[in-house]
Amino acid sequence: MELLHPPIPDPATSPPVGRAVDATPRPLPARIPHRGRSVDLEPLHIRHAAELFEAARLDPEGASFAYLAYGPFPTLEAMRGFVAGFAATHDPMAWAIRPHRTGTADGWLTLMQIEPAHAHIELGNIWFSPRLQKTRAATEAMYLLMRHAMEDLGYRRLTWKCNALNAPSIRAARRLGFTYEGTLRDVAVVKGRARSTAWFSILAEEWPAIGQRIAAWLEDSNFDPDGRAKRPLNP
């Protein structure tokens, strides 16, 4: 059987094993803010609940929660209850997303599946309200945590997983430079429905070129006064 991405063995070994790597455990992420050109990431706190609820009300059908294991939240009390618990977990570790253009918390995202001994970490649990979707701030929010994981913390592998039916998430992964690894078929049950999960990754040796490409796209010179990008972010 031919693998989609066959590993490269150490040529000096028999039987073949993988190449030697730096096995030093990586640091755990900390609950610290991250500041960008167009967005701030704030460690999620119950004080964000009211703003997040107002942002979610822009999506009355709850479509933005269709592929998440939680939501939508019909009342402020429901949102507060969720945010209180979500903000207290260390894995996933969540940040509220505050675009400079709106000044309000308009979504969240997390670092999760954190494995310091294997230097593996995932960007996930991403919820963007309608006013955050397809914006510079949305892209920069993801980039800030990607850069933090790969550069500040030194992780070797950054992953992205999504429902295999979630076409926008698959497009986002590819746009950001993640490599498709395969799909686990019917691997989970979410909200009473079968879920197949598509896997993507970025490796440490791939990150410098990917990070530079995203950073260049995020430059102020690439955006007009209305916040529209002049050129696309292509992988």
Instruction: Specify the fold of 34-222.
Output: Aminopeptidase (3.40.630)
pTM of the model: 0.96
Q: Which pLDDT belongs to residue 55? A: 98
Instruction: Map out the domains of the chain as residue ranges.
Output: 34-222
Q: Which pLDDT belongs to residue 10? A: 85
Give dist(CA 13, CA 9) in Å, integer.
Answer: 8
Residues of the chain with pLDDT under 70: 1
Q: Which pLDDT belongs to residue 3? A: 78
Q: Which pLDDT belongs to residue 1? A: 63
Dihedral sign, Cα of residue 126, residue 56, residue 81, residue 33: positive
165: Cβ contacts below 8 Å, ≥ 6 apart = 67, 196
| Apex 211 CA angle, 208 and 213, nearest 5 | 110
